[in-house]
Amino acid sequence: MKTVYRVFDRFDQAERAMQALSLAGLPAEQIAVLTGQPVDGGMFPVEIAGIGHAAANARMRDLLSGSPSGGSGMRGALLGLGVSSAEIERCAGELRRGRTLEAIVVDDAQAADASTILTRFAGHDGPDPVEVPEARDEPDVAPHEGVQMITVLEERITVERRIVERPIDDSDDRWR
């Protein structure tokens, strides 16, 4: 299982992404949303230390009330989803600015689809979606590596062709 999450500039972007995730057959009950924007319908008002008034869907509200792996509050909720401490601080800053966090826990095979959908609805302005392994409560004694998937939205290569009107040999510094 993996958690894929994204920070959206506006709540309506996250709302459309929620609908698209559900329509794609991804588990709607695993979608957690937390927004620093005032919204109506389907969201519950929550008070978050260091952020203030926010709104959460039912899944995120349950996570905020207590997570076995990290305690209660936003930090505990995101740790329970498998988000790193550094990313939690970044997300908190985004929420303070009125942005919206959406996360979904999916099977490994569904992670790429979830990431693509979240990226499509967030547009090109925000940070790339991040995929993290699911947090586990059982002890893990073997060393392991974390997984982070970053989607490249655009790649550009510029090739210039220039006419050279003299012979070039190995001593030419521009070819080193």
Q: If you search the block for the tokens 């996570």, which residue do you land on? A: 63
| pLDDT computed for residue 58 by the predictor | 86
Of the pLDDT bands very low, low, confident and very high (cuts 50, 70, 90), residue 174 is: low
| pLDDT computed for residue 136 by the predictor | 52
Helix/strand number for the chain, H first, E second:
5, 6
Query: How far are the Cα atoms of 13, 22, 85 from residue 100, in angstroms, in the given order?
Result: 9, 18, 18
Whether the predicted model's global pTM rises above the 0.75 cut: no
- Spatial contact of 21 and 8, defined as CB atoms under 8 Å apart: no
Main-chain dihedrals φ then ψ at residue 70, nearest 5 degrees: -145, 10
Q: What is the pLDDT of residues 71-84, one digit of tens each?
A: 567 888 888 777 88
End-to-end CA distance of the chain: give it in Å, rounded: 48
- Spatial contact of 127 and 83, defined as CB atoms under 8 Å apart: no
| pLDDT computed for residue 44 by the predictor | 87
Q: What is the mean pLDDT of residues 81-104?
A: 85
Q: Which are the contacts of 113, defined by CB distance < 8 A and separation ≥ 6?
A: 24, 26, 106
| pLDDT computed for residue 125 by the predictor | 47
Residue extents of the structural domains in the chain: 2-133
Q: What is the pLDDT of residues 33-69, one digit of tens each?
A: 888 887 877 788 888 887 888 888 888 888 887 654 4
Percentage of residues in the chain having pLDDT higher than 90: 0
> Burial, 91: exposed, middle or buried (Cβ in 10 Å; 0-12, 13-18, 19+)?
buried
| pLDDT computed for residue 127 by the predictor | 47
